[in-house]
Amino acid sequence: MPTERVRMWRPVDQERILLMAGETTRYAIEPRGEYVFGIVANQPMRARRGREHHLVRPGDLVAWDPSAPHAGSAVDARAWTARLVLIEVADLHALAADPEADPLTSVEFPQPVISDPDLADRFMRLHLALESPSTRLERDERLAEWLHDLIERSCPVRRAKPSLTPRDDRALRRACEYLADRPERNVGLDELAAAAGIGKFRLVRLFRDRTGLPPHALQVAHRIRGARRLLEAGQTIAAVAVATGFADQSHLHRHFLRSLGVTPGEYLRRLSA
């Protein structure tokens, strides 16, 4: 029988990340603009991302970027334990970028399984600090330093994409803000392009080039983010579905499960565990 004992929570004073910890025999996630970082313990796990297959051993770190769905399964049906941090794309840039250094551009992890005892030990200390009543400054320092060092170690040389023209920059910013401010609205492409002040086909290309997502996927990501916050605030699943623009509870259920690997009801149970 599958084992599933995982809890989720947000650390105090840190709304940009979601923490997970527990034991499981399987999972499957289709990321919508989110990174998943973690460490596996106790038992190994088999991981799959697209056509890639990996064996993750106890003590290994994983760094899943949003480039493709990923899933894990137990070896010999033995549950593994893990500690994880989920960070949305925009929040990763805010947490790890240094305005006095080179700008943080596209961040991908072509080798998502990382054997590095020092990074693994620091991740455990980070996760425990985020769980314990440590100071906000300590938590912020540990998180920023660990993310920076992981990116420097594990990512290939990142080349900044060509600068946007001022018009393109304004258009993309307006479109992103339009979607973020109206996640519940059934926005069409013509409406979004009009708000951005640019042609719709160019706008779609800008989204894909700069965010890695088409506009509709970013809209769903905003809706899922809003749904999580409302669930955490105690609203019912039915009310959350309406408030965040999903057609009904089943629509919310489907997208929530694809994005996080759990249903809204299970999410609530894990938060209260």
Mean pLDDT, to the nearest integer, of 246-250? 89
Give the confidence band of 212 by pLDDT, cuts at 50, 70, 90: confident
DSSP label at residue 60:
-
Q: What proportion of the chain, given as a percentage, has pLDDT over 90?
A: 40
2 has pLDDT over 60: no
Distance of CA 151 to the CA centre of its chain: 15
98 has pLDDT over 90: no
Strand order in the sheet with 17-24: 4-9, 17-24, 80-88, 34-41, 61-64, 113-114
Residue 94 Cα distances to 77, 209, 238, angstroms? 39, 19, 32
Q: Is the dihedral of CA 113, 1, 18, 242 positive or negative?
A: positive
243 has pLDDT over 80: yes
Mean pLDDT, to the nearest integer, of 169-188? 89
Task: Tell me how far apart the alpha carbons of residues 41 and 81 are, in angstroms, rounded to a whole number.
Answer: 5
Task: For the chain, give the mean pLDDT.
Answer: 86
pTM of the predicted model, to two decimals? Answer: 0.73
Give the confidence band of 40 by pLDDT, cuts at 50, 70, 90: very high
- For residue range 144-168, list pLDDT tens digits in order: 889 988 988 887 655 555 567 888 8
Measured at the alpha carbon of residue 79, what is the angle toward residues 71 and 229, in degrees to the nearest 5?
55
Mean pLDDT, to the nearest integer, of 183-211? 87
Given this model, what pLDDT does residue 92 score?
Answer: 78
Task: Tell me how far apart the alpha carbons of residues 227 and 82 are, in angstroms, rounded to a whole number.
Answer: 25
Given this model, what pLDDT does residue 205 score?
Answer: 86
214 has pLDDT over 70: yes
Given this model, what pLDDT does residue 97 score?
Answer: 63
Task: Tell me how far apart the alpha carbons of residues 15 and 268 are, in angstroms, rounded to a whole number.
Answer: 17
112 has pLDDT over 60: yes
Q: Which of 232, 14, 270 is nearest to 133 (CA)?
A: 14
Mean pLDDT, to the nearest integer, of 79-102? 76
141 has pLDDT over 80: no
Backbone phi, psi, residue 87, to 5°: -135, 130
- For residue range 19-34, list pLDDT tens digits in order: 999 999 999 998 877 8
Task: Tell me how far apart the alpha carbons of residues 80 and 95 are, in angstroms, rounded to a whole number.
Answer: 29
Give the confidence band of 142 by pLDDT, cuts at 50, 70, 90: confident
Q: Which of 150, 137, 128, 172 is nearest to 35 (CA)?
A: 150
Give the confidence band of 94 by pLDDT, cuts at 50, 70, 90: confident
Hey, what domains does the chain have and what are their CATH numbers?
4-154 (2.60.120.280), 166-271 (1.10.10.60)
